[in-house]
Structure 1
């Protein structure tokens, strides 16, 4: 047997065998987790997007792929709305915004559908800085969220106070709405998000969307 000629083939066979033995959990993307059991709430990672309702499988290297078949949706009774760890989301936005030049301090309030940001800005162009802060939030939040900003250090303590109030209380919702209106009326909001959305990510013709989209009984309580 010619050893020199056999060596390349032997190396190929060894590499193939080694690759087949690689633990699938180390793969960059999980190809199909459909038949694997979903994690319990206790097993789920404490990450930015707390997907307890969907039960996404944890992948140790930080990537995950989830396959969903039509039958899965039928079994679940429809599309599951992911819950979001709002405290972690607010913290991540504040960190990213504070990393911007000319921003020295940031406080973020995250609700189910909007993000309010108060920051201390040192730049001359307030509009440009507001746009940068807003875009830092847009890079992290779900697409249905809207963003409101204010370069006012005095509002930081107000956002912190709102963050400690009971989220389901009518009075809390009213205060958040009032804060949003105050931010829009008194502080730069940056450029329009897109050709069909205003500076806060609201679609054209849908200003005060947080009231317009409220359930009818909630509108009655708001006096509309």
Structure 2
């Protein structure tokens, strides 16, 4: 349990940023600027060179009883999708991050010489390298599942039949190679 909380805390720190300097733009804006360099916002050229650092005393953390550790699921899905598309094996990638699962549907590039199993393994291991270990990761080269994942993009975890829909998509994904 402690390990899970530590992992979640680290993810929170990485995703939301820790800078208290008022001159710095929020982490999300930095991420958006880095991923969308054509945006009209200024980009900090040293952003990717900065170190992450936090220092708290136990009293400081205990004082904020209402603080919750959260994970920006959209940012995680965006990061996985963009990293996969940097590889020549993929033409289109859709990623859905829930509370416990990561579902990745993709269309292989026509010139991809890797086997279906190798491509699935690459997608899976890439997601594993970017995400906390507690996520169950499912991949599929079934292009139709991209639309299924898209249909859930505005859902919340408290939506009726949310988990039933996820379970149905996972069953379909498991028909595809999953890699090691």
For the aligned pair, the TM-score class normalised by the smaller chain equals 0.5 to 0.7
Name the one with the larger helix percent: 2
Measure, in 1, the Cα distance between the counterparts of 2:152 and 2:56. Answer: 38
Measure, in 2, the Cα distance between the counterparts of 1:76 and 1:141. Answer: 27
Q: Contact 1:123–1:129 (CA<8 Å) still a contact in 2? A: no
Gap runs ≥5 in structure 2: 1-18, 32-45
Measure, in 1, the Cα distance between the counterparts of 2:103 and 2:114. Answer: 22
Measure, in 2, the Cα distance between the counterparts of 1:159 and 1:39. Answer: 38
1:114 and 2:119 are equivalent in the alignment: no
1:63 and 2:51 are equivalent in the alignment: yes
Aligned mate of 1:98, from 74, 81, 85: 85
Alignment-derived partner of residue 62 in structure 2? 74
The CA RMSD over aligned residues, in Å, is 2.7
Measure, in 1, the Cα distance between the counterparts of 2:103 and 2:80. Answer: 10
Q: Contact 1:127–1:188 (CA<8 Å) still a contact in 2? A: yes
How many Å apart are 1:189 and its aligned residue?
0.8
Q: Contact 1:148–1:183 (CA<8 Å) still a contact in 2? A: yes
Q: Rg bigger for which structure? A: 1
Alignment-derived partner of residue 189 in structure 1? 178
Measure, in 2, the Cα distance between the counterparts of 1:98 and 1:45. Answer: 22
Measure, in 2, the Cα distance between the counterparts of 1:44 and 1:102. Answer: 33
Q: Which has the higher contact order (CA 8 A, sep 6+)?
A: 2
CA deviation vs aligned residue, 1:38-96 (integer Å, no higher than 9, x gap): 689xx743166xxxxxxxxxx96632201133333332349x55322222221221111
Aligned length: 141
Cα distance change of structure 1 residues 39 and 168 upon mapping to structure 2, 3 Å threshold: farther
TM-score (normalised: structure 2): 0.66
